[in-house]
Chains A and B, each alone.
Chain A
Amino acid sequence: MIPQSHFLILSALLFSIGVFGILTRKNAIGILMSIELILNAANINLITFGKFLGSPDGLGQIFALFVIAIAAASAVVGLGLVISIYRNAKTILVNKLNLMKW
């Protein structure tokens, strides 16, 4: 049996890789991809606790399902925003997007 802490370490690694991606990417799509990585790390945590703490009605898996649904909605809206930004500013590099900067 694989101990619980190994799953949690895996999820912590994925989370920190996602944070690194958000902080260093210049492309807006890259930032969205890093956000997906972070949401997946959260999902692994939820399912791990659902399995090892043993909730009777599968609460961990149900929460993970909700997280997947919300991640899909957020990815759709985020990518729609990226396309809209590209149409107006002709770039999606976040350091070039200083339209609203003073």
Chain B
Amino acid sequence: MSGLIQVLNNSLLSQDAVIKATFYPTAFLTIFFAFLVVMSRSIFHSVIYLAFTLIGIAGIYLYLDAEFLAIVQVLIYVGAIVTLFIFTIMLTTQADTEPIRGTVRRMWAGALAGFAIFLILSKVITMTTWHIGLPEAAFVNLRELGRSLMSKYALPFEVISLISLAALVGVIVIGRGRKR
């Protein structure tokens, strides 16, 4: 982001205006693609829209000064998880696939539940007065992130590796099928 901002500083537009003018389209596109993920009739289209949604969220991370997280998001989600989804869809979905969508009643129930949750959350968010902490310390660079990951949060980091190992072994056992 900082290199981009450097370039923009020399241009006529102010930095703040550029950030505002690009953030809201990004957010809108992310929401739009997320909506398409749940509304699309074909599960394969849905997974493509999911990839676009995840890229949009990586863009949102850039506005939060989390460049490393944005790269990790694209690498792990778009690179690995979406690929995994596509392979699973190809392995499991038949050609004469049945309609994905449930009944109209279930659709309305889901829409009502989602809308109610959004109303409650947005009400709470707008009612609360948010305290802004130290604006200078808010920027976390990658060196700092790696240092605290290896010192202060080393134990959770190792637990994550244990979880990955458990997932690896578990999915091999599940996916192997019955022994003949």
User: How many chain B residues have a CB neighbour from A under 8 Å?
Assistant: 87
Q: Is B31 located at the chain interface by the 8 A CB criterion?
A: yes
B46, A16: Cβ atoms closer than 8 Å: no
Q: Is B3 an interface residue (CB 8 A)?
A: no
Binary contact track B150-178/A, C-beta < 8 Å → 1, others 0: 00110010001001101110110011010
- Per the 8 Å Cβ criterion, residues 38-76 of A in contact with B are 40, 43-44, 47-48, 50-59, 61-62, 64-66, 68-76
Whether A36 contacts B145 in the complex (CB less than 8 A), given A14-B31, A80-B171, comes out as: no
| Interface contact B69-A19, CB-CB below 8 Å | no
Size of the chain A interface, CB-CB below 8 angstroms:
73
Q: Is the CB of B66 within 8 A of A61?
A: yes
Interface pair A29/B63, CB less than 8 Å apart: no
Contacts of A47 in B (CB 8 A): 61, 64, 66, 69
Cβ < 8 Å to A, chain B residues 61-104: 61, 63-66, 68-69, 72-73, 76-77, 80-81, 84-85, 88-89, 91-93, 98-102
CB distance from B90 to the nearest CB of A (A): 11
A95 close to chain B: CB less than 8 A: yes
* Docked-complex contact B133 and A44, CB < 8 angstroms: no
Which A positions have Cβ atoms within 8 angstroms of B?
1-2, 4-10, 12-27, 29-30, 32-34, 36-37, 40, 43-44, 47-48, 50-59, 61-62, 64-66, 68-77, 79-84, 86-87, 92-93, 95
Can you name 5 A-B residue pairings with CB atoms under 8 Å?
Answer: A15-B118, A19-B114, A33-B37, A64-B69, A77-B174
Residue positions of B touching A, CB distance < 8 A = 16, 19-20, 23, 27, 30-31, 34-35, 37-38, 43, 46-47, 50, 53-54, 57, 60-61, 63-66, 68-69, 72-73, 76-77, 80-81, 84-85, 88-89, 91-93, 98-102, 106-107, 109-111, 113-115, 117-118, 121-122, 125-126, 130-138, 140, 144-145, 147-149, 152-153, 156, 160, 163-164, 166-168, 170-171, 174-175, 177
